[in-house]
Amino acid sequence: MQNEQVKPNFEFVALMASLMSIVALTIDAILPAIADIGLAINSLDPTRNQLLVTMIFLGLGVGQLFFGPLSDSLGRKPIVYFGFIIFLLASVVCLFAPNLEIMLVGRILQGIGLSAPRTISISIIRDTYRGDYMAKIMSFVTAFFILVPIVAPAIGQGIMHIMGWQGIFYMQLFFALLVGIWFWKRQQETLNPNFKVPFSFGVFMKGTKEILKYKETVSCTLISGLITGSFLVYLSSAQHVFEELYGLTETFPYIFAGLAFSVGISTLMNGTLVLRFGMRNLSFLALVIFTVVALGYSLLFWNSEDPNLIVLLTFLSLLFLCLGFIWGNMRSIAMEPIGHIAGIGAAITGFISTILSIPISIFVGSFIEDSVWALFAGLGVCGLLSVLLFLAFKTRPLFANNHAYTN
């Protein structure tokens, strides 16, 4: 059912945004509780406890690879239900995990489960709308989605003060159950039975071979993995940095919210500026600034103590302002040549970038113990590699006057 005439309604936008937002809530709400969770499961190494954040992305990467093609075969709604069931069971595993290893299994399964509503919500929007209405729906959903990382740590901290760290998982369970029932009662199946495609593992091999034909798709997928990996280093170490290195236990959620807000602002700015300056120009400029800022910090504070909080937040804010111009544009550039296999193409490139980001996060994060210097060094190296990849495999000149190259 694709419709350009029926106007978007608030309930549809709110439901799709809620399906996507469960992911951010599950990742960010536990950040203030990582130390408490570590104590409860006898895991006292803060660098190992960072895996509680990182491993959910492994599940998201694996899940999206399969749930997209499966939904083309079985329908959108059954896959979302299946994903919610996995998530609910995984949350129970996390609640009663006796050690870090079992908790990590639960977090991976949470990611696998949540990849279903996250991926299928986009498919439902594509099934239901096209053209300007689809773009409008996506902008509304994105704006709502951006708000969740801003408030999630504060929500998590508030619940933890009342119910302990387990309360955060109960809250996630309740929210998922609420959204699942809402989805079941109010959302119709959107996949036309005539458009169902039988599932086959061969589609992954064919899709990968097709993707490898386009060097810009490959390079931008790798860049997405590098930049996402560097961001995961921050995400997984943020609690350790602000609460333990800077002693900001109570104010951590608000600092996190401010930095998340800078990503949201640049994401919205990109939506306006990309039509004027082009996605390649904007993303390349953002990559260069990202690299210069990260390496600049690394050189300024080489073999010295961490700077005061204001200096740290200034550097991080500049980095995060760049992210809003990198993520969406890299994804768009990667997908541009493979529109003829958009579904499986998005699944495979998303899987590759996610799987690449996880070892980067784990490796760099292992060095963040007594200083944040390793965080910026890792960001700088990832940024520099991304700039080199972009220049080596670009297919169009940058900052050209010719209108044909404005994108």
Give CA–CA dist 140/13, Å, rounded: 7
Report d(CA 104, CA 55) in Å as an integer.
7
Helix ranges restricted to H, 164-251: 166-186, 202-211, 215-239
Q: What does residue 296 show for φ and ψ, rounded to 5 degrees?
A: -60, -45
In this predicted structure, the answer to whether residue 132 has a pLDDT above a threshold of 80 is: no
pTM of the predicted protein model: 0.87
Q: CATH 1.20.1250.20: which residues of the chain? A: 1-195, 200-407
For 27-56, write each residue's pLDDT tens digit. Answer: 999 999 999 999 999 999 988 999 999 999
Please give the Cα distance from 286 to 284 (Å, whole number). Answer: 5
Check whether 102 has a pLDDT greater than 70.
Answer: yes
CA–CA distance from 353 to each of 19, 53, 102 (Å)?
Answer: 22, 17, 26
CATH of 200-407 among 1.20.1250.20, 3.60.15.10, 3.30.70.20, 3.40.720.10: 1.20.1250.20
The domain made up of 1-195 has a fold known as Growth Hormone; Chain: A; (1.20.1250)
Candidates 129, 95, 123; CA nearest to 109 is 95
- Highest mean pLDDT pick, 44-48, 97-101, 390-394: 97-101
Cα separations in angstroms, 104 against 46, 75, 110, 367: 14, 30, 10, 20
Nearest to 190 by CA among 15, 67, 71, 18: 71
Tell me the torsion sign for CA atoms 295, 296, 299, 302: negative
Q: What per-residue confidence (pLDDT) applies to 402?
A: 40
Which of 169-178, 276-285, 329-338, 362-371 holds the top average pLDDT?
A: 169-178
What is the residue whose two structure tokens read 């990742």? 27
* Tens-place pLDDT, residues 222-280: 999 999 999 999 999 999 999 999 999 889 999 999 999 888 888 888 878 887 888 89
What's the pLDDT tens digit per position in 182-195?
999 999 999 888 88
